[in-house]
Amino acid sequence: MAKQIKKKRIAVPEQDPQARIHNFNEVALGYTFELAKEEASRCIQCPYNFAPCIKGCPVNVNIPGFIKKILENDMKGALEVIHETNSLPGITGRVCPQEEQCEMNCVMGKLGDKINIGKLERFVADYAREHGIMPETKIAPKNGKKVAIVGSGPSGLTAASDLIKMGYDVTVYEALHEPGGVLIYGIPEFRLPKDIVEYEVKYLKMLGAKIETNVVIGKTLSLYDLAKEYDAVFLGTGAGTPKFLNLPGVNCKGIYSANEFLTRINLMKAYKFPEYDTPIKVGKRLAVIGAGNVAMDAARSALRVGFEEVYILYRRTREYMTAREEEIQHAEEEGVKFMFLVSPVEFIGDDNCNVKVVKLIMNKLGEPDSSGRRRPEPIPGTEFALEVDAVVFAIGQKPNKVLYQEVPELKTTKWGTLIVDEKYRTTMRGVFAGGDAVRGEATVVLAMGDGKRAAKAIDEYIRTGEWPEEINQKTF
């Protein structure tokens, strides 16, 4: 008898919106074993060479392969299938934009709901962590060569883990006091619990990586120091410099970059002040400028630290928002208010320069710009004032120049991203780069993919010593 197709996706239990805005605990609670098996049983097991889900995943996780192992109750097997290409499943299962990647082409979409691949991947990682299951890891004998990794975000951690397995001696240098990059200082606890990132870092250390925190390359040590001491260097320094709009009053107190706002809350645990000694300003109303994932994270964090009203101010309409649909829905459920077709023109402070008002202008949408999205055009005479106690800018970030400003050999694009070729080689011999430092703001899984491919290229370089005369920039 033909297998009956189960059309409806198995829902993932979540914290109730009214309860969760008072805590930082994870919103999506994850599948139980029974629910995971039920969801897994919906997958029709497309053959490996044709499965469109695998093609949609930037690191080509063998999705039907690990789902089959769940159905066979073989959780170690499921973990090992994922680990063949993805060493951070507990993280990607939570934060990947699956709807644009693995899940986008799932054939079940034609028959009903697409398979919830991300939540199944997360389930496997969580189950393994909770039951002390580790993947079988083959580590080649030490080859006597050393690699330095700068930055401990997903690109650096992935490159480090792959190089260790190839027999290299790896040291990761991180500017902050905790490793993890955006995973630890940017993405909030309620989307990505920090103990999951810490677990992955512990695993890397267990494999033998050394992690040196509080070391800023470009200040504490220079890139030249690393180039002298190591056989190769990988730069996974991300894109952590915030962008602001140069408007009157932008220097008022209470106007944060999303980076600072989220770092205070996530890394410095301002939501536990005074138990932790970093405060965060809390008032009645906060406005976030921007409409991507970072903006949603800032808005939802603001509600949790105690702002009564939180606004997202966006210059286009909802359909153009760049945040994941799941994040937008979660923000809506939690009571974040959205104001579309508005742009800030001025900030006004009180006598002590504390921001009190953001002046906004209404827009209409004009012709599409280079991004293909219709350009917002201000409508003269439509200015109005919104009273605020704090403002967060979440309009994008660019790479930090600390590391390369005194290294003229390292060339950058006009956007400040590092120039690399298809093997992630920068314009300085022996120095490789990947992740947001070369792509600009992108995603965790793309950064991981870069770290993986760069590790292979580093291995090839150290073994052959080959380096081209000229570096032809790869287009991302």
Q: Which residues bind ligand SF4 (CB under 6 A)?
A: 43-46, 51-53, 57, 59, 61, 63-64, 86, 92-93, 96, 98, 101-102, 106-108, 115, 117-118, 121, 445
Cβ closer to ligand FAD: 36 or 448?
A: 448
Q: Tell me the C-alpha distance between 387 and 371, whole Å.
A: 32
46 touches which of ligand SF4, ligand FAD, none (CB within 5 to 8 A by kind)?
Answer: ligand SF4
Piece in contact with ligand FAD (CB under 6 A), picked from 45-53, 168-176, 333-341, 405-413: 168-176
Question: Residues near 30 by Cβ (< 8 Å), separated by ≥ 6?
Answer: 12, 13, 119, 122, 123, 126
Applying CB under 6 A, among 150, 209, 342, 418 the residue interacting with ligand FAD is 150
Q: Which does 102 bind (CB under 5 to 8 A by kind): ligand SF4, ligand FAD, none?
A: ligand SF4
> Nearest-CA neighbor of 152 among 227, 88, 222?
88
Q: How far is the CB of 188 from ligand FAD (least distance, A)?
A: 8
Closest approach, Cβ 5 to ligand FAD, in A, equals 31
Q: How far apart are CA 317 and CA 198, in angstroms?
A: 38
CB of 468 to ligand FAD, least distance (A): 24
Tell me the closest approach of the beta carbon of residue 61 to ligand FAD, in angstroms. 14
Residue 344 binds ligand FAD (CB under 6 A): no
Sign of CA dihedral 416, 419, 424, 429: negative
**C-alpha to C-alpha distance for 223 and 236, rounded to whole angstroms:** 13
Per partner kind, with CB cut-offs from 5 to 8 A, the member of ligand FAD, ligand SF4, none near residue 240 is ligand FAD
Q: Tokens representing 132?
A: 């002390």
Of 168, 181, 78, which is closest to residue 122 (Cα–Cα)?
A: 78
* By CB under 6 A, residue 148 contacts ligand FAD: no
The dihedral sign for the CA sequence 421, 423, 429, 433: positive
Cα separation, 61 vs 84, in Å, equals: 8
Indicate the residue among 120 and 446 with the shorter CB distance to ligand FAD: 446
Inter-residue contact 279 to 270 (CB < 8 Å): yes
> Per rule CB under 6 A, is residue 293 in the interface with ligand FAD?
yes
216 binds ligand FAD (CB under 6 A): yes
Q: Are 471 and 426 in contact (CB under 8 A)?
A: yes
SS3 94: helix
- Which residues, numbered 385-424, are part of the site for ligand FAD (CB under 6 A)? 400, 402-403
* Residues within the interface to ligand FAD (CB under 6 A): 95-96, 150-156, 173-176, 181-182, 186-187, 216-218, 236-238, 240, 262, 293-294, 297, 400, 402-403, 435-437, 442-445, 447
